[in-house]
Structure 1
């Protein structure tokens, strides 16, 4: 029956091939089970509940992809989007994680509507190609910076803002702290080793390099604790690395974060900006991943379009909405799906295997929850390496294209905000090309987006709030009811 449903013969594949492809994809992206709870728990969310939410969101989203589109693509809470959620929105803007989850939920509903009409293509086509690549590169730099900070390789400094790791400086920054080599020092060394090990594995094309890098770093940490080289320092946030199996293989309760929405800020301009930033990154990340992996798999037709793209986007939108209800940041299609495709995966059966493995992983929560920040930091740094590669596709030879792209990348890293970097890029692009009379580069949707972003900085007045609401409603009505009929 499943052979007919997934059309294995029509796609010239077998059950064995699809299963191997599914295992390969899972191995390359299972690191999210350790990284996502680690990042989002910085907001005060329960780490155990986050682990469960991450596994369930990944399993559900991937299963949706199998059913809606019959593609071998896997989904999980997205890297970059989780960092934006935790460090830009919650910690940076002072928004509660409940409000942030609400923004993700609303973004998912909007994406769902966009998947049924052509609004997503309108926004995607409106943003210049160079800015699209800049967003990916900027997020890569942002994620790598978080990795360096989580590992304490880069620390705060009163004079230079940031500095290289120094035990004396850390003790000066935290009054009464007793950091030394046997607590924080050894973790910095282990992170550096982890980055090098992961890099070597990637260079040797080892499947699941990022996950293996995390596990090896964690294993070295365990050995260090057992021989006394690493001594937990709870006051400094450095805990024991030994898994706690006192509750057996019980699955952590999702109750602390399940359906914890707060709609009190939904009508504020700041909330709209957050929703749009989530939506912006999600749309481009999803479409970019689908196009890239589909190209590798040979799914694109002669016109370069992806058949059943509406089903794939619908799966992504539904997964984001359900993921928010479960208590995690935006769920999106993973570029790591390409690893399974390279092993011959061609149908949704590959995705089903990935979904099953994510579900089974719930029983391994004590291990994943014991993995510390210094062990997941190499994964963040390496993922940053993968993402910043899109900078090679940016045309810096023309100032009107290159400067906005540069501002977007630099803005994300230096303002510690993905959304601010996007604002820098879009607004500067419109202003530079408007004042240099390059009107052919501009379009209605891009100008609308730039105006909305500018409104972010003047959104305290009722007039600006009203104007933003009118622009948003008018734009949606135009593209849903008029543009689609042309």
Structure 2
């Protein structure tokens, strides 16, 4: 049955490998079940209801990804987008969470239309090959950076940069460092499930350090919201309507290119990108993202997107949709075991993110650094992802630099017309930002 649905043997994998990969992916992204409700609760939403909405929407989106696209990528509420939801739209602009959920719902519907009409897939294909490699490498460095920050190994310094935590030898930072060593050793001796095993061992090591503690709470699954929208509020006056359009466009932009970047990076890591630069079943993968966002807004959570942490499962050998389905099942189980999953510290998931970053940076070796019209945009893509803490901004400036430098160098014929269209959309986005 599983072989018929997921064609596991054809993808040089096994059921055991796919299950381990799915659990590993879930473990690296399970933090979203605590972080997303915490962020959205600042907008006035109930923690428990958002927790349920996050788990259910993540499960549904991952099931769609696994069963329709047969790709090993999981989805959940996107980090960054949830912050825009609470701190920009609700707190900064003063709108209700119902108003913000209405914007997310409309974004999801627009994405479904863009996906069905192949526009989103065309955007993925339009990104030049060297930029695809740069995106994969940049995302790898970015998630390693996230791991270092989440574990407290690096912290913000007075100059608004990051620096080594002066107390790196205490608490969470030292537990994470030990975890990196253990996980790296397990990988070096080719232990199957090394990332997952390393995560579990690190969780146990965190107990005597006071890093791993039992989260507590009820094992009874809470109920999510349902259709908490405020469309009447949107059309109450011209300013509100214009703000709504701007917010929907903002959600569209970040979701579009975060997902594109993640798909390219994870597909590159799993070696499934075709010679023409396309990703198998990209349309279905993007549809899973759109459906997840729409369903998530109905249940009461912010934009759902493909998670870069999926690369942890890919690194464990996940190659089919069974990996995503297993991750989805874990999200369903989490509804009943929230206190246990909430007990896994970020110090235990950080080593997996950091080591996956090592694995994902390998495409940088094949970037053509001898051709500066290729090398400079690739470097810009990578450095912006890390320094701006944004996958989408890295893609935006990478594409813009690519188009401008190619045109100024007289190599404009090397560009596909859809690349020009994507660049024009980025320019429009920058103009909107300046005006706003």
- Could you tell me the TM-score, scaled by structure 2's length? 0.76
Q: Which residue of 322, 330, 336 corresponds with 2:295?
A: 322
Q: How does 1:44-443 map to 2 (within 5 A)?
A: 44-45=40-41, 51-65=51-65, 67-68=67-68, 71=70, 73=72, 75-77=74-76, 82-85=78-81, 89=84, 94-96=88-90, 105-159=105-159, 161-167=161-167, 185-225=170-210, 241-245=213-217, 247=218, 249-255=219-225, 265-268=243-246, 271-286=248-263, 289=266, 293=270, 295=272, 310-326=283-299, 327-332=301-306, 334-335=310-311, 338=314, 355-443=328-416
Aligned to 1:437, what secondary structure does the other structure show?
coil
For 1:157 and 1:190, the matched residues in 2 are separated by: 22
- CA spacing shift, 1:292–1:34, aligned 2, 3 Å: closer
Tell me if 1:23 matches 2:1: no
Aligned to 1:244, what secondary structure does the other structure show?
coil
Contact 2:61 2:289 in 1 (8 A): yes
Aligned to 1:222, what secondary structure does the other structure show?
coil
Aligned to 1:395, what secondary structure does the other structure show?
coil
For 2:183 and 2:390, the matched residues in 1 are separated by: 27
For 1:460 and 1:279, the matched residues in 2 are separated by: 17
Which residue of 1 is the match for residue 94 of structure 2? none
TM-fit CA distance, 1:289: 4.4
For 1:53 and 1:379, the matched residues in 2 are separated by: 26
Aligned to 2:348, what secondary structure does the other structure show?
helix
For 2:388 and 2:5, the matched residues in 1 are separated by: 52
Contact 2:28 2:353 in 1 (8 A): no
Contact 1:198 1:213 in 2 (8 A): yes
Contact 1:40 1:86 in 2 (8 A): yes
For 1:12 and 1:143, the matched residues in 2 are separated by: 28
Q: Which residue of 422, 431, 434 corresponds with 1:458?
A: 431
Unaligned runs of 5+ in 1: 168-180, 231-239, 466-486
Greater Rg over alpha carbons, structure: 1
- CA spacing shift, 1:306–1:191, aligned 2, 3 Å: closer
- CA spacing shift, 1:68–1:125, aligned 2, 3 Å: closer
Aligned to 2:213, what secondary structure does the other structure show?
coil
- CA spacing shift, 1:199–1:109, aligned 2, 3 Å: farther
Query: What do you get for the CA RMSD once the two structures are aligned?
Result: 4.1
Unaligned runs of 5+ in 2: 92-96, 235-239
TM-fit CA distance, 1:153: 1.6
Aligned to 1:250, what secondary structure does the other structure show?
coil
- CA spacing shift, 1:307–1:136, aligned 2, 3 Å: closer
- Could you tell me the TM-score, scaled by structure 1's length? 0.69
For 1:135 and 1:102, the matched residues in 2 are separated by: 31
Contact 2:289 2:306 in 1 (8 A): yes
Which string of whole-angstrom CA distances, capped at 9 and with x for unpartnered residues, describes residues 210-268 of structure 1?
A: 3333332221222333xxxx6xxxxxxxxx712315x3x2224544x985789753322
Task: Decide which moves more: 399-408 or 126-135.
Answer: 126-135
Which string of whole-angstrom CA distances, capped at 9 and with x for unpartnered residues, describes residues 329-381 of structure 1?
A: 43438456657876xx87x7776555444422332210111223333322332
- CA spacing shift, 1:267–1:366, aligned 2, 3 Å: same
- CA spacing shift, 1:396–1:295, aligned 2, 3 Å: same
- CA spacing shift, 1:431–1:36, aligned 2, 3 Å: same
The aligned length equals 411
- CA spacing shift, 1:317–1:287, aligned 2, 3 Å: farther
Contact 1:62 1:75 in 2 (8 A): yes
Aligned to 1:276, what secondary structure does the other structure show?
helix
Contact 1:38 1:373 in 2 (8 A): no
Q: How does 1:469-484 map to 2 (within 5 A)?
A: none
For 1:9 and 1:109, the matched residues in 2 are separated by: 28
Which residue of 2 is the match for residue 475 of structure 1? none
- CA spacing shift, 1:113–1:339, aligned 2, 3 Å: same
Which string of whole-angstrom CA distances, capped at 9 and with x for unpartnered residues, describes residues 183-218 of structure 1?
A: x92222111112222222333343443333333222
